[in-house]
Structure 1
Amino acid sequence: MWIILAGALAVLSPAKRFSVLLLTLATILGLFEDVLDWPAMVLLGAIAVIAWIRVENNARWIQLMSEAALVAIAIGLFVHFFPGFKNPRQVEDVQAGPLSLPFSFSYNFDKALIPFVLLICLPQLFRTKSAPPRLKILWLALLAAIPLLLYIAVKLGGLAVEPHWPEWLGSFMLANLFFVSLAEEAFFRGYLQQRLRQKGGPVAALLLTSLLFGVSHFPGGPLLMVFATFAGLIYGLAWQWSGRLWVATGIHFLFNMTHMLFFTYPALQH
């Protein structure tokens, strides 16, 4: 089921109808496997009705109200607000290495729905006008910022260098790429930064979106919020320069995997 759901996300941009077909299949399997319950089905039905209303009625107030409803739903999915999703744990209180804090992660069906919901609001969610840097070498600088930011975290005592290759790495990669990185980038870069850029320009959009991305990590404490803000600047520039959601998602995934494979994850155990 989870491979099918990941496949639906992978082809959402180039093959929307096929993606919806895969999502429908994943939903049916989710019901049979007790991952989804009836409140989740009611929510999916409501999303479908809102999508139909948007397609059938171009009145400005309908478009505004339906977009507000869909964004509210996306936020609810992001914070696991809605009942009916029984996201299965993949690992529980494990350590990536002896110096790492114990952590758990799940496959999140609700969070995986975010790109579908936001694509209804914004057809150019996955690809929009780019603003590439004048010097292509700045792309290398952007990539170099990933280990640099992690190294700064080491110097500040939040992380330590600790290479590891845990047995559950494959499950982590699947969850992190499709159900974390893509979902978060769809909301913060594909939707929010794009909408803010339309209203207030690229610089303000980049800064505000990065700040909000940092704030969204408040459960991890102030140090994580600061580093998430700077990471958000990296992802935001990747999106702004390329105009492609998958580029920002790839950079986000690369950051998370560099962190996982070469440093204490999610943080240093004191």
Structure 2
Amino acid sequence: MIIVNLIAAHLLIGFSFFISSEYFWIIFSISLFLLSMIAFRSRLIYWTKLKKTHLWISLCSAVMLYFIFFTGKALTALLFPDFLDTLSLLYATIQPYQNWHFFSLFLLIIPGEEFFWRGYLQTKLYERFSPITSIILSTMLYASAHLYSGSILLVLAAITGGIVWGWLYYYTKNLTISILSHLFFDFLLFIAFPLL
């Protein structure tokens, strides 16, 4: 079943990137909603009571991740400026600019990614592999779904974020922590201090 669900994830996300850019947000939002439903039906997601320390962990990890991306962008601009041109073209499609885009991003897309890739897939991989191997495998599979964007930088970004959020989920045994970290990070990246 895990193979079928992975194929479904690739088809949905791939279609989101291949369709006309004016429909990206609609299709991508629907795709993450459907992947969320797959995750919830699996009944695999770990939840525990949220503590104040969890909020700090989420916030600090998001800030750390943002500075990693900030440094990565500066190095890329210095060493591989052509990659930034490609990323800028991609951002013209995926950058949220309408109000409903932001609502979808923070209430549907980000939670949906965590529900499916960490809550469902990573937990499922625990059944056959060690936690570290499961984090790495789920991260690589998560990143592979970003290949359809055509941007190697977005794939590398997915690997970096996937490792951090996967480790948070494993360490805290609470998917809410990963979701909050992802939310804080995207707030920094898209609203507070955009890198592009």
What TM-score do the two structures reach when normalised by structure 2?
Answer: 0.68
Percent identity reads 19
| Higher RCO, 1 vs 2 (CA within 8 Å, ≥6 residues apart) | 2
**More displaced stretch, 169-178 vs 255-264:** 169-178
Q: Which has the larger radius of gyration?
A: 1
| 2:178 matched residue in structure 1 | 248
Matches within 5 A, 1:198-209: 198-209=127-138
Q: Distance in 1 between matches of 2:33 and 2:97?
A: 20
1:263 is aligned to 2:184:
no
Q: Distance in 1 between matches of 2:40 and 2:32?
A: 14
Q: Which amino acid aligns with 2:62?
A: L
Q: Which runs of 5+ in 2 are unaligned?
A: 49-55, 78-83, 89-94
Q: Encode CA deviations 1:101-134: one digit per residue, 9 max, x unaligned.
A: xxx63362242122222222x2132527xxxxxx
More helix by share: 2
TM-superposed CA distance for 1:78, in Å, is: 4.1
Quickly say closer, same or farther: Cα 1:138–1:105, change in 2 above 3 A. Answer: closer
- C-alpha contact (below 8 Å) 2:13/2:31 kept by paired residues: yes
Q: Distance in 2 between matches of 1:240 and 1:154?
A: 28
Q: Distance in 2 between matches of 1:114 and 1:167?
A: 21
Q: Which amino acid aligns with 2:47?
A: R
Q: Which amino acid aligns with 1:217?
A: H
Alignment counterpart, residue 38 of structure 2, candidates 117, 135, 141: 117
What TM-score do the two structures reach when normalised by structure 1?
Answer: 0.52
Matched pairs, number: 170
1:211 is aligned to 2:132:
no
1:197 is aligned to 2:126:
yes
Quickly say closer, same or farther: Cα 1:259–1:138, change in 2 above 3 A. Answer: closer
- C-alpha contact (below 8 Å) 2:126/2:134 kept by paired residues: yes
- Tell me the SS of whatever aligns to 2:44: coil
Quickly say closer, same or farther: Cα 1:249–1:167, change in 2 above 3 A. Answer: closer
Quickly say closer, same or farther: Cα 1:74–1:208, change in 2 above 3 A. Answer: closer
Matches within 5 A, 1:11-30: none
Q: Distance in 1 between matches of 2:157 and 2:57?
A: 20
TM-superposed CA distance for 1:74, in Å, is: 4.9
Q: Distance in 1 between matches of 2:3 and 2:140?
A: 21
Q: Which amino acid aligns with 2:26?
A: S
